[in-house]
Structure 1
């Protein structure tokens, strides 16, 4: 298994893995996978990664901007998804660790994640990669007529944006 830069040809596999996460009901407010154009336009052009094992994409990670205002240009939201078949093998950790490296190469000083409290594995993944828990945003949005909370986590770079 290795981590490499995402290419557009990876999108069908990325979309399938994304839908698997959506289907859990605890990965995102999104109800169906985005089209290529929606996904591409919502993510930074940099810091897009896939995990590949035996020629198959088994996970992905990418960053999306939190705002189009210049003052927030160094803040990005993290997305990390691993296929059901590949979960529990450390792939999420490898993806997130490399995503942190890529983010700092691209002048991102703060990474943030908003995770459903029920998604304990994702929360732990972020905590294991030096994110800190900021708190819970209560009833942030409705999903299937149910208000959902999210745990807000962030990681501040120790090398970018420190002076």
Structure 2
């Protein structure tokens, strides 16, 4: 089941995000988050920038969200997304269902494009994006350092055709 995130999901979202931080596969973040950090984040997230969770057997097993791409009003229809799946639940189709749900939610909100950056070595996330209709449009070389090593990021995008008129 996919649904909007609630404040009571903060602990699960924190656990899943901290797994992503510790794996060094998906984010340049290196400091772990607290439940209170994520509670504030959920509470202050604007409706135009959805946060969705995937729930299986009453356990939050993944989450996805959209952030502003840029602050200028002309980019209000472009969102930058993130997606994280709990360890032990990857490869089960949850990510695909969650990302497609996020795209559909964003389409309803009037978005015309979603974008993200993926570590070049994160083959699972790149495959997920391809499976959901995203295309790789470029590479940010040496976009940041993680544990003292430069990391390249693949830029992905998906146009939401219904909103391109």
1:120 and 1:97 map into 2 onto residues whose CA distance is 18
> Contact between 1:110 and 1:156, CA under 8 Å: does it hold in 2?
yes
1:53 and 1:113 map into 2 onto residues whose CA distance is 26
1:23 and 1:87 map into 2 onto residues whose CA distance is 16
Among 77, 82, 86, which residue is 2:80 paired with?
A: 77
Structure-1 residue corresponding to 2:38: 36
1:76 and 1:41 map into 2 onto residues whose CA distance is 19
Structure-1 residue corresponding to 2:116: 113
Q: State the shift of 1:38 in Å.
A: 6.3
Task: Write the deviation string for residues 67-122 of structure 1: whole angstroms up to 9, x where unpaired.
Answer: 11101111111111110011111000000010000011111111001000111010
Structure-1 residue corresponding to 2:52: 49
Aligned length: 161
Gaps of 5+ in 1: none
Gaps of 5+ in 2: none
> Contact between 1:66 and 1:77, CA under 8 Å: does it hold in 2?
yes
2:120 and 2:40 map into 1 onto residues whose CA distance is 26
TM-score by length of 2: 0.91
1:84 is paired with a residue of what secondary structure? coil
> Contact between 1:43 and 1:63, CA under 8 Å: does it hold in 2?
no
2:161 is paired with a residue of what secondary structure? coil
Structure-1 residue corresponding to 2:19: 20
1:50 is paired with a residue of what secondary structure? strand
1:152 and 1:85 map into 2 onto residues whose CA distance is 27
1:149 and 1:13 map into 2 onto residues whose CA distance is 29
